Amino acid sequence: MSEQVTSRDGVDPRFAALPGRPGKVVAVHLSYGSRADQRGRRPAQPSYFLKPSSSVAASGGTVERPAGTELLAFEGEVALVIGTAARRVRVEDAWRYVGWVTAANDLGLYDLRAADRGSNLRSKGGDGFTPLGPRLLDAAPLDPAGLRVRTWVNGELRQDDTTAGLIFPLAQLVADLSQHLTLEPGDVILTGTPAGSSVLRPGDVVEVEVDAPDAPGSPTTGRLATTVVEGTHAFDSGVGALPAVDDHERAEAWGSRAAAGLDPQRETGALTPDLREKLARVPVAALSGQLRRRGLDRVTVDGVHPLRPGTRLVGTARTLRLLPGREDLFARHGGGQNAQKRAFDAVGPGEVLVIEARGRADAGTLGDVLALRAHVRGAAGIVTDGAVRDRDAVAAVGIPVYAAGAHPAVLGRLHVPWDTDVAVACGGTTVEPGDVLVGDADGVVVIPPALVAEVVDAALAQEEEDAWVAEQVAAGHAVDGLFPMDATWRARYDAWRRTR
């Protein structure tokens, strides 16, 4: 395999840096630890989407930011080009099927993510949205864990990471994909972007380079350069989805709420993997007690119960509001891609969809199909103070669901799906988008994001103390003076802790 493939007569210039036009371009949603930490969610397995080969572009070209949009974001990535057909290959053999490595820019238009979130067809499939090149590196001598990807915008370094920081090694991605489909020669795999992705404006020049700094000769792809230009054609409202942005999408596109010029205190994705792990260990009763000590009593979602015993739920809130049924309103708001369907299509990894149904358990607010949709999208759970339909089927999906009951009637019997991502009243408490929800067999508690770290650490400390007290009671000590502890018992407990 040669290190560089150059343009040949008759070759479309878009594919001049490749062996030919790729049959498919497969992209990974989230794969770098730095990006996962930035987003506050870490996937257990890789997930993918397809980009059309018509989105491929060569180095030195331009890309349009479509008229009427604001959130065109860059993502510098390592691209793998398949050299040998791969079908059901083992991880330990997978790298042999990679022919070349090159640089990629997985450009995305966040203004259109809500229209087809997950598939990314419109948001990432536009013409010129997949620049590749400018040179191919022979993969055989390269260490797949020793590749570096860097991105510059107008000469300023914005991304700098190596494949050692991947959650899913490159060989795993090849092997996993080959379980499901044949990877054919010339196919391209975009392996995800590290932290630092952000928004571009017309006139910006973005450059991506992939190299192997520790390999002999430090081979490099060279810099893949793309210039952003302002588009002149607007999207047709009579044909399909129009651009739509909110603060959540702005924060995602820019990389953080602060970078987007938004109030960081309203961050909705603030749960780090460490906080999620802690919350998953703490009983809801302990969290409720700590919130009460801080003056917050009205933070439980009353009247809801898990569909499956042993269910645990931890996540940040996305919301759906259902209004009381009225026939004329349902005729206007109940059909098509209504608020209910939009909510289930928008809920993301690590998020909990909270449904306000005014405590009415005599009509369903979701069924098995919508539960499956939330599960496929990686949602952490669903909480509704209404009922579910197809109760056994919903429980079998596997996503944590807390509900007020079960009922065979459809939503339209009582409710009008009204709006999403607004403050809702669920089970007697208010839930704002971005609030943190934790559920167990006792029920569900709502924690303001600013208090999460403080409350969970205090709850863990209290749980440790309570476990020690329980040991003393089991050993025969009376509860008087021990629960709660007086000064004598407190001194004994503090002495015990110092020995740990």
User: pLDDT tens-digit profile of 191-239?
Assistant: 999 999 999 999 999 999 999 999 999 999 999 999 999 998 888 767 7
Burial class (CB in 10 A: 0-12, 13-18, 19+), 58: buried
Consult the annotation and say whether 257 binds a ligand: no
- Does residue 157 fall inside a structural domain? yes
Same domain, 331 and 235: no
- 286 and 321 part of one domain: yes
pTM of the model: 0.57
* Claim to verify: residue 376 and residue 237 sit in the same structural domain: no
| Domain assignment of residue 7, yes or no | no
On the question of pLDDT at 4 being above 60, the answer is: no
The CA distance from 449 to 447, in Å, is 6
> In terms of domains, do 390 and 260 share one?
no
- The answer to whether the beta carbons of residues 391 and 408 sit under 8 Å apart is no
245 is in an annotated binding site: no
Q: What is the CATH number of the domain that holds 316?
A: 3.50.30.40
- For residues 179 and 279, membership in a common domain is answered with no
Residue 367 assigned ligand-binding role? yes
pLDDT in tens, 257-311: 778 887 654 444 457 888 899 999 999 999 999 999 899 999 999 999 999 988 9
- Which residues sit opposite 63 in a β-bridge? 228
Evaluate whether residue 326 is within a structural domain.
yes
The Cα–Cα gap between 376 and 381 comes to 11
Domain residue limits at 467: 457-498
Q: What is the pLDDT of residue 272?
A: 81
Q: In terms of domains, do 257 and 290 share one?
A: no
Residue that is last in its domain, among 264, 282, 300 = 264
86 by Cβ neighbours in 10 Å (0-12 / 13-18 / 19+) ranks as: buried
Say if 5 falls within a structural domain.
Answer: no
Total number of domains in the chain? 3
Q: Is 436 annotated as a binding residue?
A: no
Q: Do 323 and 366 fall within a single domain?
A: yes
Pair (250, 302) in one structural domain: no
Q: What is the CATH number of the domain that holds 48?
A: 3.90.850.10
Q: What is the pLDDT of residue 8?
A: 46
Report yes or no: 401 and 307 within 8 Å, Cβ to Cβ.
Answer: yes
pLDDT digits (tens, 9 = 90+) for 97-146: 999 999 999 999 998 887 776 689 999 999 999 999 999 999 999 999 99
The DSSP element (H or E) to which 249 belongs, if any, is helix 247-254
pLDDT tens profile 402-422? 999 999 999 999 999 999 989
**Domain for residue 485, yes or no?**
yes
* 149: exposed, middle or buried (Cβ count in 10 Å: 0-12, 13-18, 19+): buried
Pseudo-torsion of CA 163, 74, 5, 81, nearest 10°?
A: 50
| Tens digits of residue pLDDT in 33-84 | 999 887 766 788 899 999 999 999 999 999 999 998 999 999 999 999 999 9
Task: Report yes or no on 121 lying in a domain.
Answer: yes
Unique residue bearing structure tokens 């996305």: 318
Strands 48-51 and 313-324: unpaired
pLDDT at 279: 93
Q: Are strands 351-356 and 415-420 parallel, antiparallel or unpaired?
A: unpaired
Last residue of a domain, which of 214, 233, 264?
264
Give the distance between the most distant pair of CA atoms in the chain.
Answer: 91
pLDDT of amino acid 433? 92
At 45 the pLDDT is: 87
Q: Are residues 395 and 484 in the same domain?
A: no
Domain stop point among 264, 290, 320: 264
The answer on 140 and 20 residing in a single domain is: yes
**Residue 102 dihedral angles phi and psi, to the nearest 5°:** -145, 180
- The CA distance from 15 to 108, in Å, is 20
The tens digit of pLDDT for each residue in 362-391 reads 999 999 999 999 998 889 999 999 999 999
Q: Do 228 and 343 share a domain, yes or no?
A: no
* Separation of alpha carbons 400 and 338, rounded Å: 23
Locus of tokens 């065979």: 408
What is residue 368's DSSP assignment?
Answer: H
Q: Are residues 231 and 284 in the same domain?
A: no
pLDDT of residue 10: 62
In a domain? residue 1: no
